[in-house]
Structures are given as C-alpha cells and as structure tokens.
Amino acid sequence: MSRVCIYHNPRCSKSRQALALLEEQGDELDVVHYIDTPLDSAALSALLQQLGMSARELIRKGEDTYKELNLGNPELSEAELVQAMVDYPRLIERPIVIRDGKAIVARPPERVLELYA
C-alpha cells in the first residue's frame, strides 16, 4: 500500500471527485487543504519541479486575482508567479496528487488513475 498526498480544495467539485477516486484505491491519504495551510515558496517550487511544470502552467488564469494582479504579464518572473500563488493559494490549479514520487494535476479527476497504471 502506498501513501498518497492530495493538495485539495473541498469547495472544488473536481478536487472532491479526485479525492473520492483516491479513496476507492485504498492507499493511505494525506489530504492537504492548501487554502487553509498554504505552501511556502520553497515547497511550491519543489512541487512545480516534481510536476515538471512552470508556475505559469500551474496558475489558474480564470481567477479574478489573476486578472487583478495582471499575472498574464509575460515580464513576470517564475519567482514572482510562485510568490503570487503563495500569497493567493486559490491561484494554484487543483487538485495536485503525489504517489510514489510522481505528481500530477488531476484534471480531469480520472487522471489520478494514471498513478496506478
């Protein structure tokens, strides 16, 4: 049995669906409510590296905060985008699931099953 970590927002239907799929697999789950317990910049940067993604790829572009802070500005650095997600965790795409060292953004939620293939 593996240990699985999910960065979860219970208000998000996709995150709830992914969590339900994970619960069906029977692994031990670490559920991180990242809105209530935000990641710091080092942890988020490490997570981005594990995902193989840039901050720009992980950031939720449909959020009002994204537009208000003009985060679509191509001049912004990776560090600036990471800091924006640290300051405003709702900007982080969700859910993020880690199993056996492999991390994915589970959108659609069925992507979690890729971690079991």
Q: What is the set of active-site residues? A: 12
Q: Of 58, 7, 57, give the one whose Cα is nearest residue 36.
A: 7
Number of CB atoms found within 10 A of residue 82's CB: 22
Q: CA 3 to CA 102: how far, in whole Å?
A: 12
3-state secondary structure of 104: strand
Q: CA 110 to CA 11: how far, in whole Å?
A: 18
